[in-house]
Structure 1
Amino acid sequence: MADPTGSIEQASPTSGWQRFWGRGGWWRAFLFAALYIAVYLGVGRLVGLLGQGPDSPDELLDSAGSVFFGLALPILVMSVLLLVFLRSMRWRREVFGPQPVAGRPWMWGAVALVLAPIALHLVGTSWSSYSPTVVLTVLFLGLCIGFAEEVLTRGVAVTMLRRAGYGEKAVMVLSSLLFALLHASNALSGQALLTVGTTIVFAFGFGTMMYLSMRVTGSIVPAILLHAATDPTTILATGGVDTHGTSAGAESINALAGTFNIVFVVAAVVAVFLVSGRARALDTAPATSRP
């Protein structure tokens, strides 16, 4: 069940900035993610200093304003900055264009696994607990999260890893690990270390499902939309962010949805043994020698 193989063609770099990031590699991908987190936390801190957002994490879902300023605005800013970065690197086609390596039929299982808890959360949410404006703002938040985190990890990071010549197994594992480690920043907000650790493990499984979804659909866009549906439905169902084992709606249904976090991790481990191959040449990228 090997995947198609080959190498990625790259656009000729014209500046030191493009040459540095264009060489790719795991440490550049992780460095870029660290810079992303630093700027994200800085924007969030600035919003807090300006007196915007909620006074405490418990008030995040109290109003549309608290959701927007407390959660969505920093991620919206990061989404814009990621687009600026892609433009500066001329990677927009490489990230948003067709995948350079075909998916396998079994990868559709990842899409099904991600859709299942989304459906359960939709049924299990106590919708009367929220105003329509809060629900709409949380959905907008989900779009921001899905776009920013997928472009960062399944877009920029995957591109850097493939450009450095990594096989798809390494690309999947490293990009999913990077996605998981992004959630370690929750510790800076005072979240319990056990919760942070659990979130990191679950995020690795979910990140792997996103990678497989991107591969089998042939585009990063479905992964963005799946991610954009996962976070808001989970937040509304549980009544918080990264609140494992809690429920703000039908307890049994949401508890069942929560078990998929474990399923994701198990499926990720299985995927490690099935994914293979290297990315073939990109039809959308100008051909040149590797810098």
Structure 2
Amino acid sequence: MRVTPRVWIGLVVFVGYALLVLAVQSSTGIPYTEWGASAGDLFIGAVLSLVIATIVLVPLISWLGWWRPVLHERERSRHRWPIIAPILLAVIAIVGLFSADWGAVSGAFLFAALGLCLVGFTEEAVTRGVLLVALRTRFAEVWVWLISSTLFALMHLLNVVLGQPVPGTLAQVAAAFGTGTVLYILRRTTGSLIPAMILHALWDFNLFVLGNGTPGPAAGLIQALYLPVIVLALISVAWVIRGADERITPGLQPDGLQHRESRTA
């Protein structure tokens, strides 16, 4: 790695990303609650900031030389069954899409909503990518999960600045912690961040599409099944953490891989 991972670097990238997205979204003058009003509002209010963030993140991670640890675990979780939670979340999202009122979704809005899928790349690359790599230089894996998931959730507090009511934002923060745990489990069980990026994009795309028209009755499954999936994730995350040996020792990664911390007898 060109730059040795440090906790402060991960925090700077995290805060910088959050402030960049907030600055761009605030400058558009489109409140968070009106993003779904039209394709133009969705693109200018949300997608534009993600495009700019992507343009910044790709060369930044390349310059750091962190792509390998950002995108890949050294070893997958020994316990694979917790992947049930991410699979169920994906099923819920797909059911939601089948029950969406597609007649109320214009081609332009669909294009803008697909652009919103960039959130899967940007937020995962920052929180369960760069930040996670940085945290692994200092903390045990249980703290890596807890801190990265908590910061991912707290990042959604910025939506208050964009006009979202406080009660709804607090509920979103709580949900984001649970969803973040599901995505962390997916990274650990597959050994790659890419499936988490895809699931994150799918989930957000599903939510915005369902906000149009009158969805079918099956859309209620999202609310009914989401909480049980999150509870399952919060219970099963202990198994993907158990035995994890992803700790990075600064100065001992000549090939960009994560090396086991040296132990003394």
Superposed pair shares fold, TM > 0.5? yes
* Residue equivalent to 1:156: 130
Partner of 2:6: 23
1:33 counterpart letter in structure 2: F
1:262 CA drift (Å): 1.5
Q: Given residue 232 of structure 2, which amino acid in structure 1 is its aligned partner? A: A
- Report the counterpart of residue 285 of structure 1 in structure 2: 256
SS of equivalent residue, structure 1 residue 285: coil
CA contact (8 A) 1:100 1:280 kept: no
The CA deviation at 1:196 is 0.9
Q: Provide structure 1 residue ranges, at least 5 long, that are not aligned to the other structure.
A: 1-10, 49-53, 240-246
C-alpha distance in 1 between matches for 2:229 and 2:256: 33
Tell me, yes or no, if the aligned pair for 2:136 and 2:247 is still in contact at 8 Å.
no
Superposed, 1:208-227 pairs within 5 Å as 208-227=181-200
Q: Is the 8 A contact 1:121 1:253 kept in 2?
A: yes
| TM-score calculated relative to the size of structure 1 | 0.78
Give deviations 1:142-172, integer Å, cap 9, x for gaps. 2x110001101110111111122x2222211
Shift of 1:237: 0.8
TM, length-normalised to structure 2: 0.85
Q: Percent identity, aligned pairs only?
A: 27
Mapped partners of 2:130, 2:19: distance in 1: 17
Question: Which residue in the other structure is 1:34 paired with?
Answer: 15
Does structure 1 residue 122 correspond to structure 2 residue 100? no
Segments ≥4 residues shifted beyond 6 Å: 280-283
Question: How big is the shift at 1:283?
Answer: 8.8
| Matched AA of 2:219 | N
User: How many residues matched?
Assistant: 254
Partner of 1:204: 177
Matches of 2:258 and 2:155, distance apart in 1:
33
Structure 2: runs of 5+ lacking an equivalent = none
SS where residue 224 of structure 1 aligns?
helix
Distance 1:45 1:124, change over 3 A: same
Report if aligned partners of 1:236, 1:248 keep a CA contact under 8 Å in 2.
no
Q: CA deviation at 1:284?
A: 4.5
Partner SS state of residue 95, structure 2: helix
Counterpart of 1:285, as a letter, is G
- Rounded to whole Å, the distance in 2 between the matches of 1:186 and 1:101 is 36
1:46 matched to 2:65: no
